[in-house]
Copies of this chain bind each other. A is one copy, B any other.
Amino acid sequence: MLDGAVVVGIKNGWRGLIEDDTEVLTRQSVTGILPRGGTILGTSRVNPEDDASIGHIKANWDKHNLNALIVIGGEGTLRAARDMWRDHQYPVVGIPKTIDNDLCGTDFTFGFDTAISVVTDAVDRLHSTAESHHRAMVVEVMGRHAGWIAAYGGIAGGADVILVPERPFRLSKVCEILRRRESQGRPFSVIVVAEYAQPHPEEDFLTPEQRTEIYQHGRLGGISFYLAREIERCTGIQARVTNLGYVQRGGSPTAFDRVLATRFGIKAVEMVAAGEWGQMVALRGTSVIGVPLDEAVNNIKYLDDEIYRVAEVFFG
């Protein structure tokens, strides 16, 4: 299958194709990367958005004599892939990769399982000090649009409250849970909060400046910082913050993510060999199949209701 093909690695996503930053990948150059986190090719947030970019892409495509493009990324990167196929007939195949798991069309994206394993480990460590301390632990995790990481990591770690972007939260409800736990002799609680979770408008406790800082500038650690302060105020329980930040993005991938990424890669090559363009590889149950890129990029995949209900069973 594609024996003898030359594999050209494009650096930093679409930017590498626009700026002609590439590197031929050989067996030797990829030896040993399996257990490593991150990417040897780099990333960027650059997408081909104007005629100039698309012109550069055409020039570099011809220069390297490319026959197909396998595009790895999240919603933005794959939307550009869809456009390049739909509008310019570039032969592309997509591979879904985002730690946020918020991409439609596939059961899971790779990177997600590794991220939740980091969150779970952190929550476990907090719990192991539970018998010794009287505290509310606020753990801020990633999640811009969707609460997948918060929900899975929170369920796996046994969080007492989980706050996600899809459901504006009421501080009064959080404090009520913590006080009830305290009254039951369980004065230690873990609150997992997604970075973009926000207070319900009826119970807002953020100033406009704080809102801008958190939700527009993406100042990580903001919501956990202010939430901890409010919890102390309304319950009298000392609150402490853990903000994992980019730690969630890195480190050796889990076995699940490695098998998924390996299967995705092989399927993508098979689709290239078969000329199945404009599609994305996807996990559906135990199978890896191709789905139209359109399916993946038109909507955010919000947190499954069933998962949130599972989480709620353990609240408080």
Contacts and interface: CB of A to CB of B under 8 A. Distances in A.
Contact of A285 (B107, B133, B259): B107
A124 B251 contact: yes
A310 B268 CA distance: 12
Interface in A290-314: 304, 306-307, 310, 313
Contacts of A313: 266
Interface string A166-203: 00000000000000000000000000000000000000
Interface stretch (A55-63, A151-159, A204-212): A151-159
A37 interface: yes
Interface residues of A, number: 72
Contact of A246 (B38, B120, B242, B306): B242
Contact of A120 (B124, B153, B258, B287): B258
A11 to B, nearest CB: 10
Contact of A255 (B43, B130, B152, B258): B152
Contacts of A259: 116, 152, 155-156
A38 B130 contact: yes
Contact of A221 (B34, B42, B119, B243): B243
Contacts of A39: 131-132
A46 interface: no
A102 interface: no
Contacts of A224: 221
A262 to B, nearest CB: 6
A233 interface: no
A245 B137 contact: yes
Candidate in A130, A158, A251 with the most chain B CB atoms within 10 angstroms: A251
Contacts of A252: 124, 128
A268 to B, nearest CB: 12
Nearest to A32: B127
A216 interface: no
A81 interface: no
19 contacts: A43-B132, A116-B255, A119-B255, A125-B247, A125-B250, A128-B251, A129-B250, A133-B246, A135-B246, A137-B245, A153-B255, A156-B259, A157-B255, A221-B221, A221-B224, A241-B243, A243-B245, A266-B310, A286-B304
Given A43-B132, A220-B240, A221-B224, 17 more contacts: A32-B127, A40-B131, A113-B255, A118-B125, A120-B254, A120-B258, A122-B247, A124-B250, A128-B252, A129-B250, A153-B255, A155-B258, A155-B259, A240-B246, A256-B256, A262-B310, A263-B306
